[in-house]
């Protein structure tokens, strides 16, 4: 069982800044979607969620044991304002609760003009070896169904 629990605690904070390129706008979220291709070139909600997750991963990383990582298991955020290409977005994350291998974060994103998003995000700390074995077993089941 992972021994990270002594290292991950409430109150840990991290900030990360990222400049929005054209490729992280709504039309590029699913490039095969003609509906999304017609939309304005502003930072996409899906990419904002990913940026919030990335910030939480960065916050956790120095507190994990070798061979451990984290998986996003819950997200509850609002996207409140549009952000054009070229703006720098800063995400602030704070660990607000730890329950065993589960860590919960308050997240907030700001583009220098507006708070563009906020909410909570939860991550589950895992052993990569154990997780990868589970995914391989699932893939094997799917392959067995195809062959049957």
Given 45, 90, 94, 120, the catalytic residue: 45
Q: Give tens-digit pLDDT for 40-89.
A: 999 999 999 999 999 999 999 999 999 999 999 999 999 999 999 999 99
68 is a catalytic site residue:
no
Question: pTM here?
Answer: 0.91
For every residue of the chain, DSSP letters joined together read ---GGGT--TT-EEEEEEEPPGGGBGGGTTTT-HHHHTS-SBB-HHHHHHHHHHHHHHHHGGGSPTTEEEEEEEEEEEE-S--BTTPEEEEEEEEEEEETTEEEEEEEEE-SSSEEEEEEEEEEEEEHHHHHHHHHHHHHHHHHHHH-
Q: Give tens-digit pLDDT for 11-47.
A: 999 999 999 999 999 999 999 999 999 999 999 999 9
Given 28, 79, 90, 120, the catalytic residue: 79
């Amino acid at each position: 069982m992972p021994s990270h629990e002594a290292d991950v605690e409430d109150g840990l904070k991290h900030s990360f800044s990222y400049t929005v390129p054209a490729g992280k706008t709504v039309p590029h979220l699913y490039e095969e979607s003609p509906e999304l291709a017609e939309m304005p070139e502003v930072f996409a909600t899906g990419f904002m969620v990913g940026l919030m997750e990335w910030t939480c991963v960065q916050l956790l990383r120095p507190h994990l044991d070798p061979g451990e990582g984290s998986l996003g298991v819950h997200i509850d955020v609002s996207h409140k304002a549009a952000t054009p290409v070229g703006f720098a977005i800063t995400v602030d994350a704070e660990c607000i609760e730890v329950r065993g291998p589960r860590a919960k974060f308050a997240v907030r994103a700001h583009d220098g003009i507006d708070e563009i998003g906020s909410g909570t995000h939860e991550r589950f700390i895992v052993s990569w070896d154990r997780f990868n074995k589970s995914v391989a077993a699932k893939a094997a089941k799917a392959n067995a169904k195809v062959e049957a």
